[in-house]
Chains A and B, each alone.
Chain A
Amino acid sequence: MIEQILTASVFASMIRLATPYIFAGIGETFGQRSGVLNLGVDGIMLMGAFFSFYTVYATGSLVLGLLAALLIGLLLGLTTAFISVTLKAEQGISGIGMYLFGLGMSELLFQKLIGTPKSVSGFPRLYIPVLSDIQFLGIGEIFFNHNLLVYLAFFLVPVSAFVLNRTTFGLMIRAVGQNPEAADAMGINVARVRYMTVTLGGLFSGLAGASLSIALLNVFQQNLTSGLGFIAVALVYFGRWKPFGVLAGALLFSFVNALQLQVSAIGLDIPSEFAVMAPYVITIIALVFASKQTEKPTALTKPFERGE
């Protein structure tokens, strides 16, 4: 039975399904490392998913679809930054506002512009000569049989770790998230750094949405993400604010998702509710037991104001 469940195709879908979690989680990591909690990720993802889907549906161009997701992600990221950095709004509440906006708006636009569920042909799997053909342990199928966005997501992880740990920009982000007063005194524009990270987070959330609607599922429907963006926020905590930690969490989640699909595919008699609940239960357990020694930004959710 184990052999029936743990097939190469389960691992392949684990890799594939990790994509939206990675995009959204990494984007959120940047914001949180600089001290801004964006709970609106799911809303931005839905908008990204819709706009990319609609663009591909209307024009047939995947490139334009991707650009549409990036553009809406950028706009909503900027809006989030404006609300939490400039207006200094309570971040938890304003994030939920952004989520509800994205949820309602994407559905409304879907009803008005498309109406009934349709599908598009999204990013195709890339055939990589030699690598895709490796039969040994199913490596070709598991690792080298995916679409462009999957590779992009995985590529983003080391790049983000490098940016955070090894660049001047990353140093500013960490300083701003830990002690904005000190960063300010060193001539760093705290607001500008936070605008940049939150906007970057918006861009990545848009991409996360697109990865669902024009690469993995190739459909759009109401509440397509079903809370995936919130999981991404939890993954940042789970991953202790580190890109590779987020990656580990994303893989754990997508593995459970993949198992869930497989189990129902082979018709095992496990109530599907359990399978749906599993990822969330795992998150909570993982968060409880996760080490307390962390990189947690001490200024998280605290707007910065000079003592004037």
Chain B
Amino acid sequence: MNNRRIQHLQMQGIVKRFPGVLAVNHVDFDVRAGEIHALLGENGAGKSTLMKMLYGLYHPDEGRILIDGDEAKIRSPHDAIQQGIGMIHQHFMLVPSLTVAENIALGMKSSRGLVLDLDVVSKRVRRLSEQYNLKVNPDVPIWQLAVGEQQRVEILRALYKGAALLILDEPTAVLTPQEVDDLFRILRKMTEEGHALIFISHKLHEVLAISSRITVLRDGQRVDTIPTEQATKLKLAQMMVGRPVVLEYERHPCQPGDERLSLSGVSAISDRGDLGLKEVSLAVYGGEIVGVAGVSGNGQRELAQVIAGLRPVTGGTIHVGGLNVTGKPPAAMNVLGVSYIPEERMEDGVIKEFTVSENLVLQDHGRKPYTRGGIFLNFHVIAKTCKEAIRAYEIKTPGADTPVKSLSGGNIQKLVLARELSRRPKVLIAAQPTRGVDIGATEYIHRRLLEERSKGTAILLISEDLDEIMALSDRILVMYEGRIVGEVPGGKVDVRRLGAMMAGATLDSVEEKA
């Protein structure tokens, strides 16, 4: 526990180089107690890198950090925590096999000296989670939690440690609108209590709603810092991308073709061991985008995984193009033209240690034209294909031979998308395709999805981002507690009604109230 306050933290002339990239280029940044300073920028602009230097994970090549006027030496996260700096990472920093309470107790002093005081921690966590309305059970292991719930654990942990300055690296990427509202309430409360907050998000409306100042980074350099009152969406988008950005899309009316994917009465067990998917039936036709809306942890993940062949079904059947594929392995699904953009791209989408080009041909390395005689890889063709993909999808990487783990989050997502779309899928399952992706790239991914739709691909779009669901879907299915509880046509939808259904109200009861 740390009660020290940071009145004013300054980063001056910070430079960070990685092999082949100047990730942060002479950046000045500061944050004061009681304010929320937002950091904006495209994927790979250097936001996370700048913040990791503040948290002691990276060391600046040049520049210095001042806390209340005194130079601070932050050599490790331990130093940062000592100085009262906390960070919620873009990719969760939780130990999957440990419980929520154990993760929170990790690295903290125990009230019983050397012996763990998990019951005390649990009790305090329960109190905190009630106080801030963050529902989390402290006694379950992390691996059983959905992404959104894991994010809540990260937030709780930071609150628990009482950091004076808190860095939030895309904390809202995995939250529903209601959860974002809750988070914002917490953040406002924290600023009133004198915390200094740094907030990173790709969602401009969030940044406009919560921050008091905004700094925009582009290609590692600071474009400008402006007070939020003077900012507009368009102006920010332009500052980030360096060109005007389209924020709305033109869509052709939907012309559904043949039935490509159908599920009837499909059930599956979740990681938690209960029935995560309960007799779900749905059909997706060629040339349409079917959106699946829902609060994180209501069966969306299981739904995507059963279709991709990654999770066994306990009942019901799945058909692709009229063929019964129930229980077929992922490779068979691939051959049938099912592409999958997974929700947890770091775990399921890429192999972190492999290079960009290796990841791009991950599924097709055994097929033409990437192989000679099915045994030797054809590096020439692979290199050429990769170069094209990197250019077409604007993947920011020093080269095709860079290991994927050193790419920024949004660029990893573009890579997965490039791979999956290059396979000309008949059915595309896109789970949270733009989570953590900047507006330029989101625009790009959305346009690609709409293009695929015009080409006649059947697309199942699973997303917790209601804006995205509403912007793209021809039909919207709502999931709650493992069931599909309602279907509404896309286009003009009442957000509040959708939100209520996501929270468990049935369509009828929603309509009655209206």
Q: Given A174-B97, A178-B95, A187 and B77 touching (CB < 8 A)?
A: yes
Taking a contact as CB atoms closer than 8 A, the residue among A168, A187, A307 that contacts B116 in the complex is: A168
B115-A187 in contact (CB<8A): no
Closest approach, in angstroms, between the C-beta of A235 and any C-beta of chain B? 21
Closest approach, in angstroms, between the C-beta of A184 and any C-beta of chain B? 6
Is the CB of B69 closer than 8 A to any CB of chain A?
A: no
Is the CB of B174 closer than 8 A to any CB of chain A?
A: no
Name A308's closest neighbour in chain B (CB-CB).
Answer: B58
Q: Given A307-B405, A308-B58, A187 and B78 touching (CB < 8 A)?
A: yes
A171-B94 in contact (CB<8A): no
What B residues does A184 contact at CB under 8 A?
57, 76-77
What B residues does A174 contact at CB under 8 A?
95, 97-98, 102
In the assembled complex, the Cα of A185 lies from the Cα of B167 at a distance in Å of 13
Q: Interface on chain A toward B: helix, strand, loop, or mixed SS?
A: helix
In the assembled complex, the Cα of A182 lies from the Cα of B109 at a distance in Å of 17
What B residues does A168 contact at CB under 8 A?
105, 108-110, 114-116
B98-A178 in contact (CB<8A): yes
A183-B106 in contact (CB<8A): yes
In the assembled complex, the Cα of A179 lies from the Cα of B102 at a distance in Å of 13
A186-B405 in contact (CB<8A): no
Number of A-B contacts (CB under 8 A): 83
Closest approach, in angstroms, between the C-beta of B193 and any C-beta of chain A? 23
In the assembled complex, the Cα of A178 lies from the Cα of B105 at a distance in Å of 16
Taking a contact as CB atoms closer than 8 A, the residue among A179, A295, A307 that contacts B95 in the complex is: A179
Map CB proximity to B onto A149-166 as digits: 1 under 8 Å, 0 otherwise. 000000000000000001
Interface size on A, as a range, is: 20 to 34
Within 8 A of A (CB), among B90-128: 92-98, 102-103, 105-110, 114-116
Please, how many residues of chain B have a CB less than 8 angstroms from a CB on the other chain? 32
A169-B93 in contact (CB<8A): no
Is the CB of B188 closer than 8 A to any CB of chain A?
A: no
Taking a contact as CB atoms closer than 8 A, the residue among A166, A189, A308 that contacts B78 in the complex is: A189
Is the CB of A83 closer than 8 A to any CB of chain B?
A: no
A186-B97 in contact (CB<8A): no
What A residues does B96 contact at CB under 8 A?
178-179
In the assembled complex, the Cα of A234 lies from the Cα of B95 at a distance in Å of 25
What B residues does A186 contact at CB under 8 A?
77, 81, 93, 106-107
A308-B59 in contact (CB<8A): yes
Map CB proximity to A onto B311-333 as digits: 1 under 8 Å, 0 otherwise. 00000000000000000000000
What B residues does A306 contact at CB under 8 A?
57-58
Closest approach, in angstroms, between the C-beta of B50 and any C-beta of chain A? 14
Is the CB of B45 closer than 8 A to any CB of chain A?
A: no
Taking a contact as CB atoms closer than 8 A, the residue among B93, B114, B116 that contacts A185 in the complex is: B93
A181-B93 in contact (CB<8A): yes
In the assembled complex, the Cα of A185 lies from the Cα of B58 at a distance in Å of 11
A166-B106 in contact (CB<8A): no
In the assembled complex, the Cα of A175 lies from the Cα of B109 at a distance in Å of 15
In the assembled complex, the Cα of A59 lies from the Cα of B271 at a distance in Å of 61
B114-A182 in contact (CB<8A): no
Query: B residues near A, CB below 8 A?
Result: 55, 57-59, 76-78, 80-82, 87, 89, 92-98, 102-103, 105-110, 114-116, 405-406
Query: A residues near B, CB below 8 A?
Result: 166-172, 174-175, 178-179, 181-189, 295, 298, 306-308
Give the 3 A-B residue pairs with the shortest CB-CB distance, closest first.
Answer: A187-B78, A186-B107, A182-B93
